[in-house]
Amino acid sequence: MSDSTTVRDGFIAMMIHDWCKTVLNADGKWTGHQKFDPQAQGGVAFGPSDAVTGTQLRELFGAQVVEYVKKHEEIRWGAADSVVAAIGIADRVQKAMYQLQDAHGTIISERELPEVLKLRLFPYPPFYPYYGEAVTAWDPHLAAQLLRDAVYTIQTQSATLPILLAAQRPFRRFPHTTYMPHLSLELHQRFAATLFLLVNKQLRQLQAAGRPFTDLTNLHFSVITAVPDPLELFYRLRDVTAYRKATRDLRADLYKSIFQAECTALPGASAAANPFEYYTFDGLVLVYDEAQTVLDAIQASADRRHTLRSLTVEVIEYSIALNGGNYFSPRHTPEVQRFTILEQQSQVFPTTTLARCQRCNIPVAEPLPSGLCESCETLMQKPSRIKNLETVATDETGKTQRLAYVFLTLPEDLHAESARVAQLHLDRMIEDARRLRHPEDPAWADPNLPRLRPTKMGLFEYLEAVLSVESMQREIRKKKPGGVKRIAEFPRLTIYVMREGLFLEFFEILEETTAQMHLDLKIRAILCDLKTPVWSLMDRFTDHPREQERRTLVDTGGGEIVMFTDEEVKAIRDLAGWNSKAAARTQLQALVQMARKGSLEELCLEIDRRCKKGKIWNNFAEALKGYLRNLKLETSRTGDDTEFANREKRALFIKNVADLGDFKGQ
């Protein structure tokens, strides 16, 4: 068997080695999962007609892969084969990194778990995801279906890397460890496979130097997150496809210069299916053992392509000490290193010049006839499937509408946020076990029941959060209307743009799709004219707001920046969703003009007058007046400025109801 074949088989083994944890016996436990044979495990959900058998798995993956799976928990430093040694080391290293903590932050082993948790929590394992609905206790039949789905994915296609990654997705809803219900089986297997490649590479280097495997005393690697400047490229090009193309090019450059050589043994590996990458949209989240090599490659790509002038980069370094088969990691929380990578050309300015590029505003010695710098000129000449702003704003009839920008943000420190949510999930696990599983058990009634805390290193919580953000973004992709365009999809920021007529429909889709996101997600929107210079406002919207409002709408239609709160956005959606006969569009448009001229009482009087004439439904009129009276009004200004701002807010409130609803013209 060739070296590439054994590496391939070792990698596949690590990608599937715990699949049979979804095989639960009559007691709701997984036992003997390393046998890789549901029947040998006593799986209650695998009858004769719907069985997944050990023979079937052997035929699907090959005898060598199954043999590796069966021995993945064995550590053999003396093995002559680096693949065999790397499999055991990768599995044990990852387990050591969990570093479970008690309520006081003391690291404890699985053996030190409180007896009440050890004996009573393990059956029918729970799972509390970062994105999705919680499972308080997995049913054996539903758990078995995850395995069937994964096997079916491989059977109908092949065991190439893209298919292996797709087959992992069902396991994003199932725990790897019963007392860590926020960490998925998918992440465990993908990360184990990544570690396998890194460990095998280092063992082969030792082998080539004639040194024993025991000389590998420390395993070093980093998690590298790189995200482009959120608006700089879009501002320069006004092209909503800009980030997709720029990040695709960056990803291709990195794969060619670094990862292609690492993946020669993996069929189907590519820039789009990279075993070292954990996020596949408009940012990079990589696990690799040579961080500086990655940073240098990012710099080289930025300098060569001129598209991404700046990227924010986070690097977290991890070091795992290997000590004669006992694996442990440093007893401290690794620090996040944050810095910016800048394209070299954008930092070299003429010593004296008044000329500036009309797109990016950098100084230029002599602008081109187009008024652009050389970099922007090159970008503007590239052919594009452009969905530019004029195209986005135009409806099916050719009429140009206002634009709506929608921002989905997560906290800047996604590491801390992922740990916060993990703690909530661990606490909920204990509470649900007390309330749902053991309501009559006095041991669970103890108010001092031990509290578990997230992993000390926080690595898995962060990667789990990243995978969950991608799942949410993927779900939005499936459901959004075609006229809604993606400007950027980053790990902590997502930006969409659309014509105003699609805003309400898309907002309802967002409400449904993001309802199960347990991270602190905020949704903010801007409604503006096509030519409105909203760049400075948009720049502020890429930051995560501190206020408690989950949804905020800003309208610039009257020349003023008017902000609507979460409850006010709900009110607009409520009124816009009324029957089309509740009010004619012309009636609402007339009320917009009235709102700009008169006080609240005068506006309500006008609504009553039109209602009495039968032009507005009574119930609709009462609801409209109630919402107008509850609007959060401006208080920071004085005199006429305050009254003008409040009138404008009432006018834009009614205008949004008219524009977003399906009201008839007359």
pLDDT above 90 as % of the chain:
41
The more confident residue out of 552 and 100 is 552
Q: Quick one: tokens of 30?
A: 């997984």
Q: How confident is the model at residue 350 (pLDDT cuts 50, 70, 90)?
A: low
Half-sphere exposure of 484 (CA within 13 A, CB side): 23
Q: Which of 591, 648, 596 shows the shortest CA–CA distance to 625?
A: 591
Q: Give pLDDT tens digits for 400-450.
A: 998 999 999 999 999 999 999 999 999 998 888 888 887 887 777 777 777
Q: Which residues contact 574 (CB under 8 A, 6 or more apart)?
A: 623, 627
Question: Would the pLDDT of 352 be above 80?
Answer: no
Least confident of 18-27, 224-233, 522-531: 224-233
Residue range 374-379: average pLDDT?
75
Q: What is the DSSP string of 1-52?
A: --HHHHHHHHHHHHHHTTGGGG---TTS----GGG--TTTTT-TT--TTS--
* Beta strand 522-528 pairing with 551-555: parallel
Q: What is the mean pLDDT of the chain?
A: 85
The more confident residue out of 242 and 650 is 650
Helix (H, G, I), strand (E, B), or coil: what is residue 107? strand
The more confident residue out of 130 and 508 is 130
N-term to C-term CA, the chain: 79
Whether the CB-CB separation of 471 and 131 falls below 8 Å is answered with yes
Question: Would the pLDDT of 385 be above 50?
Answer: no
Least confident of 176-180, 437-441, 575-579: 437-441
Whether the CB-CB separation of 195 and 460 falls below 8 Å is answered with no
CB count in 10 Å sphere of residue 519: 19
The more confident residue out of 140 and 378 is 140
Predicted local distance difference test score (pLDDT) of residue 330: 57
482, exposed or middle or buried, with CB in 10 Å at 0-12, 13-18, 19+?
exposed
- Hey, what amino acid is at 467? L
Whether the CB-CB separation of 10 and 265 falls below 8 Å is answered with no
Q: How confident is the model at residue 637 (pLDDT cuts 50, 70, 90)?
A: low
Is the CA virtual torsion 615, 621, 625, 631 positive or negative?
A: negative
Question: Would the pLDDT of 383 be above 60?
Answer: no
Residue keyed to tokens 């092949």: 158
Least confident of 47-51, 273-277, 435-439, 460-464: 47-51
Q: Give pLDDT tens digits for 108-149.
A: 766 667 666 666 667 889 999 999 999 999 999 899 899 999
Q: How confident is the model at residue 656 (pLDDT cuts 50, 70, 90)?
A: confident
DSSP 156: T
Q: Give pLDDT tens digits for 56-76.
A: 889 999 999 999 998 877 766
194, exposed or middle or buried, with CB in 10 Å at 0-12, 13-18, 19+?
buried
DSSP 637: S
Alpha helices in 333-404 (DSSP H): 374-381, 389-393
The more confident residue out of 122 and 660 is 660
Residue keyed to tokens 């008690």: 102
Predicted local distance difference test score (pLDDT) of residue 209: 93
Question: Would the pLDDT of 650 be above 70?
Answer: yes
Question: Would the pLDDT of 345 be above 80?
Answer: no
Least confident of 45-54, 481-490, 494-503: 45-54
Least confident of 82-91, 499-508, 636-645: 636-645
For the CA atoms of the chain, what is the radius of gyration? 29
Q: Quick one: tokens of 367?
A: 């602008």
Distances (CA, A) of 508 to 42, 109, 158, 664: 45, 46, 38, 21
Residue range 521-528: average pLDDT?
90
Predicted local distance difference test score (pLDDT) of residue 608: 92
Question: Would the pLDDT of 337 be above 80?
Answer: yes
Q: How many angstroms separate the CA atoms of 148 and 151, rounded?
A: 5
The more confident residue out of 260 and 642 is 260
Predicted local distance difference test score (pLDDT) of residue 457: 85
Residue range 440-469: average pLDDT?
86
The more confident residue out of 590 and 450 is 590
Q: How confident is the model at residue 382 (pLDDT cuts 50, 70, 90)?
A: low
Question: Would the pLDDT of 51 be above 80?
Answer: no
pTM: 0.88
Q: Quick one: tokens of 129?
A: 């995801």
pLDDT above 70 as % of the chain:
87
Q: Quick one: tokens of 666?
A: 């007359």
Q: How many angstroms separate the CA atoms of 359 and 370, rounded?
A: 10
Q: How confident is the model at residue 386 (pLDDT cuts 50, 70, 90)?
A: very low
The more confident residue out of 570 and 47 is 570
Predicted local distance difference test score (pLDDT) of residue 107: 73
Residue 285 backbone class (left: φ over 0; alpha: ψ -120 to 50; beta: rest)? beta
Q: Which of 346, 389, 398 shows the shortest CA–CA distance to 229?
A: 346
